[in-house]
Amino acid sequence: MATTLKNVAVVGAGTMGADMAVRLAASGCNVFLMARPGKSRDSFAPRAQRSAADLGAEFGKLKLELVPTLQALPWKQLDLVIENVKEDLDVKRQVFREMVALAQPATPLASNSSTYSVRRIGEGLESQQRMLGLHFFMPAHLIPLVEVVMTPHTDPTIAQHIYDEMESLQLKPVMVKQDVAGFLANRMQAALGREAWSLIDRGIATPEDVDRAVRYGFGFRYVAAGPVLQKEISGLDVTAAAAKSLYPDLCNDDGPPQFLIDMVSRGECGMKAGKGFREWDDATIDAERKRYGKALKAALAILQSEED
């Protein structure tokens, strides 16, 4: 099915915005990326060229145009607008306020926020029936999942239309029918993360072994089947029995463990700070990013091979 999304605007040219723009343009959309003068705009071209190369696309042939302001977008032509400004609720509300005023009445208005619900962003604004979440995952040009998030006000026909359009762009949408914190994927990821931090905090396993257990154990199976299908294969009776035995012993903390808070207070925030659970310098950062990107592309190729 060919997409009817001919003209799409992405508002905000940070890392996510740039990769989203490249992915949509590589799928055949005319993309208008709002990038105000500054660091993000200056760094856009080199990043976009690398992302296009990852997709096997020639950056110079993509229909992708930078515009400096919201007012400069071709509002009468747009079929979809995706907000991707910094994770600041007041800033997002102001952007949505301007989008509502500038957009054509039927144009869907989406947010890529992973922190704030679209219901909160659009609170008090007109035409909330056309607002929804459209949440991509980093790196957005490679990871095919996109969450279509409905609020209590979202018109179901608009949400389904966007879902169908994402499929036509060869993305893998999921419909999130309630605007809950974390939506779908991040809620599941957070549950795993809470248990991982607990296992480290209790001295049951090292950070390295936690990563190894996921990558080479049950996480390895996720390329072939998600958690529901895996248990369908192994037997739901076994799953129910295991849940009854194991769930009472799982971590149920309502906040991060103290050791993680202490690491952050010392500035040990991971790769970007040069230290987390391991030491990072320019050489190790470059090597890890290359390894990570190569592994993601290999996993994507496996998933795409199922569709051939």
Q: What confidence category does residue 41 fall into, taking pLDDT thresholds of 50, 70 and 90?
A: confident
For the chain, give the percent of residues with pLDDT over 90.
92
Domain ranges of the chain: 7-176, 189-305
The residue that leads in pLDDT, 42 or 73, is 73
First to last CA, the chain: 16
Tell me the pTM: 0.93
Q: 189-305 maps to which CATH number?
A: 1.10.1040.10
Q: What pLDDT digit, counting tens, does each position of 92-144 carry?
A: 999 999 999 999 999 999 999 998 999 999 999 999 999 999 999 999 999 99
Q: What confidence category does residue 43 fall into, taking pLDDT thresholds of 50, 70 and 90?
A: confident
For the domain with range 7-176, which CATH number is right: 3.30.930.10, 3.50.50.60, 3.40.50.720, 3.40.50.620? 3.40.50.720
In SS3 terms, the chain reads as: CCCCCCEEEEECCCHHHHHHHHHHHHCCCEEEEECCCCHHHHHHHHHHHHHHHHCCCCHHHCCEEEECCHHHCCHHHCCEEEECCCCCHHHHHHHHHHHHHHCCCCCCEEECCCCCCHHHHCCCCCCHHHEEEEEECCCCCCCCEEEEECCCCCCHHHHHHHHHHHHHCCCEEEEECCCCCCCCHHHHHHHHHHHHHHHHHCCCCCHHHHHHHHHHHHHHHCCCCCHHHHHHHHCHHHHHHHHHHHHHHCCCCCCCCHHHHHHHHCCCCEHHHCECCCECCHHHHHHHHHHHHHHHHHHHHHHHHCCC
pLDDT given for residue 278 in this prediction = 97
Q: What pLDDT digit, counting tens, does each position of 219-261 carry?
A: 999 999 999 999 999 999 999 999 999 999 999 999 999 999 9
Rounded Cα distance between 194 and 40, Å, is: 33
